Amino acid sequence: MTEDAAIGAVLSSFFGLGVVMLTLIQNMSAGQQAGLDHLLLGSTAAMLREDAQIIAMGGALVLCVALLLHRPMMITAFDENFAQSLGVNLRFIDGAAMALILAVTVIGLKIVGLILIVALLIIPSVTARLISNRANHITPLAGVIGGVSGVVGAGISSLAPDLPTGAIIVLVSGGFFLLALFFAPARGILASAARARTFQRRVHRRQGLLALAQGYHVHEPYTRKLLQHDGHLRADGVLTARGEDAAKAALRDEMRLAYLRRNPDYSEFLSRHDGLSDLSRSFTRDELHHIDQAMETAS
Binding region for other proteins (CB under 8 A): 1-2, 4-24, 27-28, 35-37, 40-41, 115-116, 118-119, 121-123, 125-126, 129-130, 162-164, 166-168, 170-171, 173-174, 177, 181, 184, 187, 189, 192
- Helix or strand or coil: residue 47? coil
- Helix or strand or coil: residue 239? strand
- Could you give the CA distance from residue 193 to residue 48 in angstroms, rounded to a whole number? 49
- Could you tell me the smallest distance in angstroms from the CB atom of residue 26 to other proteins? 9
Residue 27 or 84: the one with the smaller Cβ distance to other proteins is: 27
Residue 36 or 104: the one with the smaller Cβ distance to other proteins is: 36
Neighbour-count burial for 202-224, b at 16+ CB within 10 Å, e otherwise: eebbbebbbbbbeeeebeeeebb
The DSSP secondary structure of 117-141, one letter per residue, reads HHHHHHHHHHHHHHH-S-HHHHHHH
Which alpha helices (DSSP H) does 132-240 contain, by range? 135-157, 165-183, 189-213, 221-230
Closest listed residue to residue 253, CA positions, set 271, 269, 276, 233: 276
- Could you tell me the smallest distance in angstroms from the CB atom of residue 73 to other proteins? 17
Pair 96, 69: CB distance under 8 Å: yes
Residue 57 or 98: the one with the smaller Cβ distance to other proteins is: 98
- Could you tell me the smallest distance in angstroms from the CB atom of residue 204 to other proteins? 24
Residue 164 or 243: the one with the smaller Cβ distance to other proteins is: 164
Residue 19 or 67: the one with the smaller Cβ distance to other proteins is: 19
- Could you tell me the smallest distance in angstroms from the CB atom of residue 175 to other proteins? 9
- Could you tell me the smallest distance in angstroms from the CB atom of residue 58 to other proteins? 22
- Could you tell me the smallest distance in angstroms from the CB atom of residue 160 to other proteins? 9
Residue 10 or 64: the one with the smaller Cβ distance to other proteins is: 10
Q: Specify the amino acid at residue 4.
A: D
Question: Which own/partner pairs from 11-14 qualify as long-range (CB within 8 Å, at least 24 positions apart)?
Answer: none
